[in-house]
Amino acid sequence: MSEPLKQMPIGVTDFRLIREKNYLYVDKTELLYHLCQGPWSYFLSRPRGFGKTLLVDTLEHILRGHRELFKGLWIDGSDYDWSPNPVIRLSLNDLDSKSPKAVKSGLITALNSIAEKEALTLNGSNPSEVFKSIFDELYAKYNRNVAVLIDEYVAPITNQIENLKLADDIRKTLNTFYDVLKAKDNQRGFTLLTGESRFSPSTFDSALNNIFDLTFFEEYAAICGFTLQEFDKLFPENMENMLKIMISQGSMSPDATVSDLRQLFLDWYDGYSWDGQRRLLNPWSIIKAFDNNRFDYYWIQSDGMPSFLVKQLKTSVFRDLKSFKAKESITENTNVLELDKSLEPLPILFQSGYLTVDWVDEKTGSAEYFLKLPNLEVRQGIDKLILGLE
């Protein structure tokens, strides 16, 4: 008798809910275990829909010592120290970014919400003062360094990227806020900032200079997304079920096999890479395809391409992305955005997931990452997206 199909966690980024409801979960805890061993201060860039928020939520439960949620996962059988740590977790994607004042208000509200859950009394009238106060209070309460998890660390800036004056004013607000991370280095423990976009460290003066960028780091290349091995291990029952439905609907031939269906998944949703070696499937599109039992442009349609990027593409050498060849490249130093310079399409396309690493040239001593379109979904869906916004 075949195993019942696990429910797909569509739009679910709550690790506790996924575990308690027995939703499908890809075990990345071995990578998170090694991440927690040091050097402690990290940044990770991945496109939307690749599980950054779930990653942050999982890390929070690990750091808080909620071992009961990890039964049967890799980290539960490891020597990880499950002593609870104080955690400051923020999601800047949730903030109102219509003005610097709104961002400041949102930061204070988010910090006060943490303080209320921890029964703390905070001091300060601006975000930086309140941020410093919560560090002091949590450090005193737990007598342990305070972990910091910040999801979508520049979202208020990128939300206003078409208004560079407003975006820069918000940048100044966040710069002052992030200065606290440097000031509280002696009280700060494990730190992870995530984002779709990666800005130059100079954007925040010296506040984030000592954050280690994991984006291209080989050891963590598979920290978000599904590897082919994970896909084959997790979805055999879903594959059998989807094949039967697609054959009955006439969208696959009667003699089609699971291998044929697997190849379609690879053609449509595979091909992402951040090191030129490990290939990853798009998790959002995978779970949507299984949920709907058909292939479609799920990731492309989920949020669309920013209108400012569409405008740039129409007048750039990347106008026809379908014919994009793997001759364009970036380096770690050029894969950044800077508000005081022209926002080049190439790093934005890469950071947003419309381009991915094809191969890496390390002959020059500084790795050069040559880019390509990842898969059929992007190659065919990109034209529909751009034409739809013209």
Shared domain for 291 and 320, answered yes or no, is no
Closest CA to 60 of 105, 94, 91, 95: 91
- Token pair of 55 as six digits: 């990653």
In tens, the pLDDT along 165-216 reads 999 999 999 999 999 999 999 999 999 999 998 888 778 877 788 889 999 9
Q: Which of 300, 317, 335 is the last residue of a domain?
A: 300
Range of the domain at 208: 15-220
Task: Confirm whether 10 is domain-assigned.
Answer: no
The sign one gets for the Cα dihedral 149, 152, 155, 161 is positive
Task: Confirm whether 292 is domain-assigned.
Answer: yes
Shared domain for 354 and 292, answered yes or no, is no
In tens, the pLDDT along 125-163 reads 999 999 999 999 999 999 999 999 999 999 999 889 888
Shared domain for 292 and 308, answered yes or no, is no
Shared domain for 293 and 282, answered yes or no, is yes
- pLDDT score for 312: 61
Shared domain for 127 and 270, answered yes or no, is no
Q: How confident is the model at residue 389 (pLDDT cuts 50, 70, 90)?
A: very low
- pLDDT score for 390: 44
Ranking 56-65, 113-122, 362-371 by mean pLDDT, the lowest is 362-371
Cβ pair 118, 56 in contact under 8 A: no
Cβ pair 366, 331 in contact under 8 A: yes
Q: How far apart are CA 350 and CA 332, in angstroms?
A: 12
Does the reported pTM lie above 0.85?
A: yes
Reduce the secondary structure of 233-269 to three states and give it as a string.
HHCHHHHHHHHHHHHHHCCCCCCCCHHHHHHHHHHHH
User: Where do we find the tokens 């607000």?
Assistant: 173
Shared domain for 316 and 189, answered yes or no, is no
Q: Is 69 exposed, middle or buried (0-12, 13-18, 19+ CB in 10 A)?
A: middle
Task: Confirm whether 5 is domain-assigned.
Answer: no
Task: Confirm whether 6 is domain-assigned.
Answer: no
Ranking 3-12, 147-156, 316-325 by mean pLDDT, the lowest is 316-325
Shared domain for 50 and 158, answered yes or no, is yes
* Beta carbons within 8 Å of 155's beta carbon, 6+ residues apart: 92, 93, 95, 97, 195
Shared domain for 37 and 55, answered yes or no, is yes
- Token pair of 181 as six digits: 């991370």
The count of domains in the chain is 3
Task: Confirm whether 81 is domain-assigned.
Answer: yes
